[in-house]
Amino acid sequence: MRNILAIAAKDLRSQFVSPIAYVVLTGFLLLGGWFFFNLLARFNFLLNMYLSFRNPEAMERLNLNEFVIAPLLHNLSVILVILVPVITMRSFAEEKRSGTYELLMTSPISVTEIVLGKFFGAFGFVLIMVGLTAVYPLILVLYGDPEAGVILSGFLGLLLLATAFVSVGLLTSSFTDNQIIAAVSCLVGLLLLYVISWPAETAGANLGAVLKYLSLTEHFGEMVKGVIDTRDLMYFGSVIVLALFLTQRSVESLRWR
């Protein structure tokens, strides 16, 4: 446990002494702020329009959760697909390139400890990322009346999504000593998981259901709607555990190649 923490703290720290952390956080919050501002402006516009039309039915349907928070979370999830590979690309690739991999691998720590240390280091970073976006719903709670439960469920979904992305990123980083290759293959993998359900409607009942189940968006979408289902939690859990397990195998393979 102590070794895991030591590696996690080292990795998290090294993100913040390099400019990467600040570029990623600034970009994430800048884009997030832009989405939030525009969604809010549109909400305001619709509200004023329905008010002037004296349309109480449309007014009923208009709520902050569905018109601001949900699209905001979906937009943020797309940004995470692009930014998480940038966070995780260094984790193994950089160690291999700089020769510190030899230090880690010849220290009396297990491969599992190394992988979990790397995982918690990167997880800490996405926790900060997602945590900082909490400012948007906070503004809504201060000035409006959104449903808190749905917001929490949605942000929990966003965090789980980011954590699953991190695990996939660690896996691709463990394959190579080239950060660009690590980042690009992670990005491609995540995008594939994102759009895998597109042919679901036309692919026939069985295959369609499988593709839908594999898709990250389907499960994330449920949580954004405020539904915390064990099926979705299981899905994210499986992606995380499977990717970490494969990472552990990939790192360990050095010892039996």
Partner 1 sequence: MIEVRDLTKRYGDLTAVDHVTFTAQKGEIVGFLGPNGAGKTTTMRVITGFLPATSGTVKVEGFDIFDDSHEVRKRIGYLPESPPIYADMTVTAYLQFVGRIKGIPRAALNDAVDRALERCGLTEVTRRVVGHLSKGFRQRVGLAQAIIHEPSVLVLDEPTIGLDPRQIRDIRSLVRELAGQRTVILSTHILQEVAQICQKVVIINEGRVVVEDQIDHLTQGAPLEEVFMRYISGGRGEEATG
Say if CB 214 and CB 137 are below 8 A apart: no
Chain centre distance of CA 176? 22
Single out the residue of 105, 152, 214, 242 in contact with partner 1 (rule: CB under 8 A).
105
User: Which of 107-113's residues contact partners 24+ apart within 8 Å by CB, and which partners?
Assistant: 109/3, 111/248, 111/251, 111/252, 111/255, 112/248, 113/3, 113/4, 113/7
Say if CB 156 and CB 224 are below 8 A apart: no
Single out the residue of 26, 48, 55, 98 in contact with partner 1 (rule: CB under 8 A).
98
Of 221, 126, 107, 109, residue with least CA distance to 170: 126
x/- map, 39-78, partner 1, by CB under 8 A: ----------------------------------------
Single out the residue of 6, 138, 139, 234 in contact with partner 1 (rule: CB under 8 A).
6
Single out the residue of 2, 54, 205, 230 in contact with partner 1 (rule: CB under 8 A).
2
Piece in contact with partner 1 (CB under 8 A), picked from 44-52, 99-107, 176-184, 239-247: 99-107
Of 232, 254, 224, 256, residue with least CA distance to 73: 224
Tell the smallest beta-carbon distance from residue 5 to partner 1 (Å).
9
249 binds partner 1 (CB under 8 A): no
- Give every CB contact of residue 228 below 8 A, 6+ residues apart in sequence: 153, 156
112 binds partner 1 (CB under 8 A): no
Piece in contact with partner 1 (CB under 8 A), picked from 68-76, 97-105, 140-148, 171-179: 97-105
Count of positions on this chain that bind partner 1 (CB under 8 A):
25
Of 236, 198, 225, 194, residue with least CA distance to 71: 225
17 binds partner 1 (CB under 8 A): yes
Site residues, partner 1 (CB under 8 A): 2-3, 6-7, 10, 14, 17-18, 98-110, 254-257
